[in-house]
A and B are shown apart, each in its own frame.
Chain A
């Protein structure tokens, strides 16, 4: 039942969606990178109960399905009293995925910061560095580079979650693949193309990240900075 004609016919139709898919990936990734810092800042205020509440909110967002969060923002947010507004599908998906992944990114940042030796903090205190200088000149320059492979991994994972946005009508490659299938009643070829495109983009990136990971581990000689990477 496999037809190469359909395959060749469907390809140019589906590839048109790649811009939207990649665009959504990068915009929500930037949002996640920024929001990751916000979580950390909110969780380390001097007010303990507040930190505790924020921690559980983050845990809540992290362990519930992103597709429900996308639906919530797209279908239900306009009905929320006072602050509710309606989003375009793209914006809704971007915020939902960005916030969902920021909960993971925050964990990566934390592991990076914790991997900085305690002596570095003590030394910068002894040298009378200000709080800002301690962070900007001592801690972050050491904390962030080892996290780059992990951040890269999350970019790939995020990329694979982006087709969820097809369910609210963001026209990426999965949407177009299904549209093609619905129009012609042949689903195998278009969906195979969609899968191939994901594989073609994510596999080489994953290999690249693995190489980078080796390099970073050798350079910083800190195996303990490698934390778990989950989707």
Chain B
């Protein structure tokens, strides 16, 4: 039994890089989207603010799997652009989806920084950019850490969907293995789950660590 477990693990290993690379790219993309959308949602210009709100609400209001299929089928036809490989479609779908969720984290963390800080910065004659860059963001970043850790785990879980658009990730190889060795199905999926869990462990650790950092020195 242990033998077959190792056997399956090495077989699933073929999909490891696809999962990890999509996870890293999608995580990076969603962090960027989170800051872009989170910050532009607070500007004065109503058109920019409205556009961002639209993006955030649409991606938060529909599900990732629907967005993934939509992008996969619709974007090449509708806008007549080829997004290159499915890898990019996966990264864009996951990145846009979680970017929308995380933009709310960015926004609420910035709003959570004490108002007195802004007032003091104004009193010290800092420009709005300086205010954000040197006073507000450093304090808000700390508050974002635990949530960013949590969402990173969500992103990892989201990457399992890319096997549905034909990418050869861990789940894809798990499915192949299961369909050729039916009796070993439970072991195959258990190993898939364990592999995801092992990748998630550092993320779990990071979000716990982030929680501690966020709490440090905060009176409440």
CB pair B61–A80 under 8 Å, yes or no, is: no
B128 within 8 A of A: no
Contact of B160 with A72 in the complex, beta carbons under 8 Å: no
Nearest Cβ on chain B to A170's Cβ, whole angstroms: 13
Find out whether the CB atom of A60 lies under 8 angstroms from the CB atom of B197: yes
Establish whether residues A178 and B69, one from each chain, have CB atoms under 8 Å apart when the complex forms.
yes
Give the CA-CA distance A136 to B209 in the complex, in Å.
35
CB-defined contacts of A203 to chain B, threshold 8 Å = 57, 61
Tell whether A140 is near chain B: CB-to-CB under 8 Å.
no
| A31 CB to nearest chain B CB (Å) | 19
Q: Which 9 residue pairs are nearest across A and B when measured between Cβ atoms?
A: A65-B160, A76-B185, A187-B73, A160-B63, A72-B189, A63-B200, A199-B61, A188-B74, A65-B157
Chain A residues within 8 Å of B, Cβ to Cβ = 1-2, 59-60, 63-69, 71-72, 75-77, 79-80, 84, 160-164, 166-167, 174, 178, 181, 187-188, 191-192, 194-195, 198-199, 202-203, 206, 224, 228, 230-231
For the complex formed, measure the closest distance between the CB of B72 and the CB atoms of chain A, giving whole angstroms: 9
**Which residues on the B side are within 8 Å of A166 (C-beta)?**
65
Closest to B65 in A: A163
Taking the closest CB of chain B, its distance from the CB of A153, in whole angstroms, is: 11
Pair A167/B164 contact, Cβ less than 8 Å? yes
What are the residues of chain B within 8 A of A230 when measuring CB–CB?
Answer: 147, 150-151, 153-154
Q: Which of B70, B189, B220 contacts A195 (CB 8 A)?
A: B70
Q: Pick the contact of A67: B150, B151, B160, B220 (CB < 8 A).
A: B160
Is B66 located at the chain interface by the 8 A CB criterion? yes
B146 → A minimal CB distance (Å): 7
Known: A79-B183, A178-B69; 7 extra A-B contacts, CB below 8 A, are: A64-B193, A65-B157, A68-B174, A160-B64, A187-B77, A224-B220, A230-B147
Partner of B189, one of A1, A76, A187, A228: A76
**Most chain B C-beta atoms within 10 Å of own C-beta, residue among A72, A178, A192:** A72
Our pick among A64, A75, A161 for the contact of B196 (Cβ within 8 Å) is: A64
Pairs A–B under 8 Å by Cβ, sample size 28: A60-B193, A63-B156, A63-B196, A63-B197, A63-B200, A64-B157, A64-B197, A64-B200, A65-B156, A68-B171, A68-B192, A68-B193, A71-B171, A71-B175, A76-B188, A79-B182, A79-B185, A160-B62, A160-B64, A161-B63, A166-B65, A174-B66, A187-B77, A191-B69, A192-B70, A224-B220, A228-B150, A230-B147
* Total inter-chain residue pairs, C-beta < 8 Å: 126
Q: Is the interface of B mostly helix, strand, loop or mixed?
A: helix
Does B78 contact A2, Cβ atoms closer than 8 Å?
yes
B61 touching A188 by the CB < 8 A rule? Answer: no
**Residues of B contacting A76 with CB < 8 Å?**
178, 185-186, 188-189
Q: How many residues of B contact A (CB 8 A)?
A: 50
Shortest CB-to-CB span from B87 to chain A, Å, is: 18
How far apart are the CA atoms of A84 and B65 in the complex, in Å?
29
Please name all residues of chain A whose beta carbon is closer than 8 Å to the beta carbon of B173 when the two chains form the complex.
none
Distance between B78 CB and nearest chain A CB, rounded to angstroms: 6
User: Does B204 count as interface, using CB distance less than 8 angstroms?
Assistant: yes
Tell me the minimal C-beta distance from A158 to chain B in angstroms.
10
What residue of chain B has the Cβ atom nearest to residue A76's Cβ?
A: B185
A60-B193, A67-B160 known; A75+B185 contact, CB < 8 A: yes
Docked-complex contact B154 and A191, CB < 8 angstroms = no
- Within 96-132 of B, Cβ neighbours of A (below 8 Å) are at 101
How far is B21's CA from A160's CA once the two chains are assembled, in angstroms?
25
User: Contact partner of B171 among A65, A195, A198, CB < 8 A?
Assistant: A65
The answer on a CB contact under 8 Å between A72 and B61 is no
Query: Among the listed A161, A163, A188, which residue makes an inter-chain contact with B78, where contact means beta carbons less than 8 Å apart?
Result: A188
C-alpha gap A188/B185 in the complex (Å): 35
Q: Decide if B66 touches A191 in the complex (CB within 8 Å).
A: yes
Shortest Cβ gap from B2 to chain A (Å):
16
